[in-house]
Amino acid sequence: MAEIKYTDDHECIKIEGDVAWVGITKYAQEALGDLVYVELPEVGREVKKGEDFAVVESVKTAAEVYSPVDGEVVEANDNMADDMELITQPVSEQGWIAKIKMSDPSQLDGLMDEAKYNEYTESLD
């Protein structure tokens, strides 16, 4: 099974070799409400950890999606532009926004596993 990591900004990341598949968590989806649009990053764009590289819009607000790692965007989920329901799927399936080829995989060490993330979100409620 793929390793999934989480950020405190509610991104979820599936790790596959040196590529991070980045999406948003169920918690973020529920906080945003009905999602209507995603602004995808450009393929080839260099991103830094903590930098916003995509935007998800709902009927009530817009939220930046932050890169969990340094690297290069190698693929954007173009299917999402036509089908926002995809974002509600697990990041390991069709729920990823972009794939980032990591330049420093050790940055993953600072991210949470599912149990830690669940603890974190419970503390927010």
Tens digits of per-residue pLDDT, 56-82?
999 989 999 999 999 999 999 999 988
Domain with 77 in it = 3-116
Inside any domain, residue 122: no
Distant-in-sequence, close-in-space partners of 92: CB < 8 Å, separation ≥ 6: 2, 4, 14, 21
Q: Is 67 inside any structural domain?
A: yes
- Per-residue pLDDT 10s for the chain (125 aa) are 568 999 999 999 999 999 999 999 999 999 999 999 999 999 999 999 999 999 999 998 999 999 999 999 999 999 998 898 999 999 999 999 999 999 999 999 999 999 999 999 999 97
Q: Is residue 111 part of a domain?
A: yes
What integer pLDDT is reported at residue 15 of this predicted model? 95
Vertex 40: Cα angle to 7 and 58 (nearest 5): 75
CATH code: domain of residue 10: 2.40.50.100
d(CA 110, CA 117): 12
